A and B are shown apart, each in its own frame.
Chain A
């Protein structure tokens, strides 16, 4: 197991992403939607960083994409459900989706479908803390904390202090083989 991000790296990466967001997007009409159950914490922190830079309050929501997954019925047990709480209308807004790890792109596909059911956003952007490659869908991130080359079989885990006690990211190397884990990230 090797560490790819420490607590300071996470802080710096989020601060930089926050700067990039305010540079590229209009602040009014901007909302952040984190994907449960790590992305929502990252979205909250991005909102705080943006408040520091611009003095503006950017609304934050949390989105659970479970019901939109494309592997329901393929896993042994029904995937665990988290909370969705988006206390604002996304219609006409610029939504920055926030997730911890970008991998196959399937989670983001599901998130876009879920958002579409909630309203017609003006545009959807994507911010991730770690991009580990191996996309299976034509999806890319607009804001990336760190690009990390990985093997397909590796396990990449982002930790946030709110859940895991500390911030960081690790790669657990696993030989890709017939027993390949098909992650949904």
Chain B
């Protein structure tokens, strides 16, 4: 595996399978009374969050703690960032304190890559601007494989604000890599112009797509990233693209409803739809911890490039 996880392009299909298989073992650990193993004792993981986050930060924190690593949570408010410290200086400070891995979320696309130029530790992208969010994609792949038994040939629609969604990008790259059949669905203004080059299909007709799906993946309408008006009104969006009871009826039996959270109930997903049995949104959260444990274990569990002489295991 690559030394860092910045993008779904950093992992091969074999890597994805290894990550998901390893995550399965960590799922079992999560069912124990003592949900902690000593695998990463003595390692330090820094959560460097320049953007607000609930589930991703807590998920990474829990993942690192359950591996017995030491965790430092850093958020831009209440730190030297508010005194004007640059990302580089913050990174060098964390480096000097001996961070073995840095989990970064930042509003600027590409900042995790920039970080790898300055620090020796492993860098994990926890969401950078409108670029990528690979750990979300991996936990989604895990959830699909767990529920449906496979990834190859799965028919998945990603519905909503694809243009601003790092989740949609990472998930599309991951699904295409694993041989799934992906359709991006949304108003033309919210579909990225380069989408055809991702190896996916594009549709603007949600009702036409729903009957042919194994997974309906809804994206959050990201009002905070919209500088321009991309659709006339939230009500119109909900009417044309929101998943309501009537649309759920179009989905084939056994198909899944997924959402990366946080949900806008009543916009992209109706409140009662989010609570249906085929909605696996809570599973996604639970699986997220196991998948992040697997990633931290696989990245930090091997010998680091500048570590001592080789000792082979067996």
Contact = CB atoms under 8 A, between A and B. Distances in A.
Interface of A: 64, 66-69, 71-79, 81-85, 113-114, 117-119, 155, 181-185
B32 A183 contact: no
Given A68-B38, A81-B22, A74 B29 contact: no
A88 B235 CA distance: 53
A157 B21 CA distance: 25
Contacts of B310: 75-76
Nearest to A71: B313
A78 B40 CA distance: 11
A69 B313 contact: yes
B216 to A, nearest CB: 31
A114 B300 CA distance: 20
B314 A181 contact: yes
B121 to A, nearest CB: 13
B29 A75 contact: no
B228 interface: no
Contact of A81 (B25, B307, B313): B25
A79 B313 contact: yes
A79 B40 CA distance: 12
B38 A71 contact: no
Contact of B313 (A75, A113, A117): A75
Contacts of B308: 74
Nearest to B66: A67
B37 A117 contact: yes
Contacts of B314: 155, 181, 183-185
21 contacts: A66-B25, A69-B313, A71-B313, A72-B40, A73-B43, A73-B300, A74-B307, A75-B311, A76-B302, A79-B301, A81-B22, A81-B297, A82-B25, A83-B25, A83-B28, A85-B28, A113-B38, A114-B37, A181-B314, A182-B312, A184-B314
Nearest to A182: B311
Contact of B298 (A74, A78, A185): A78
B246 interface: no
A78 B297 contact: yes
A114 B232 CA distance: 58
Interface string B282-311: 000000000000000111111110011011
B303 A67 contact: no
B270 interface: no
Contact of A67 (B1, B21, B37, B300): B37
B22 A118 contact: no
Given A74-B307, A79-B301, 8 more contacts: A66-B39, A72-B40, A72-B301, A73-B302, A76-B310, A81-B22, A81-B25, A155-B314
Contacts of A72: 39-40, 301
Contacts of B70: none
Contact of A73 (B29, B32, B307, B312): B307
B172 to A, nearest CB: 28
B51 interface: no
Contacts of B307: 73-74
B237 to A, nearest CB: 43
What 5 A-B pairs have minimum CB-CB distances, sorted nearest first?
A: A78-B301, A67-B37, A183-B314, A67-B39, A75-B313
B21 A117 contact: no
Nearest to A185: B314
A122 B163 CA distance: 59
A40 B283 CA distance: 30
Given A81-B22, A117-B32, A68 B298 contact: no
B28 A84 contact: yes
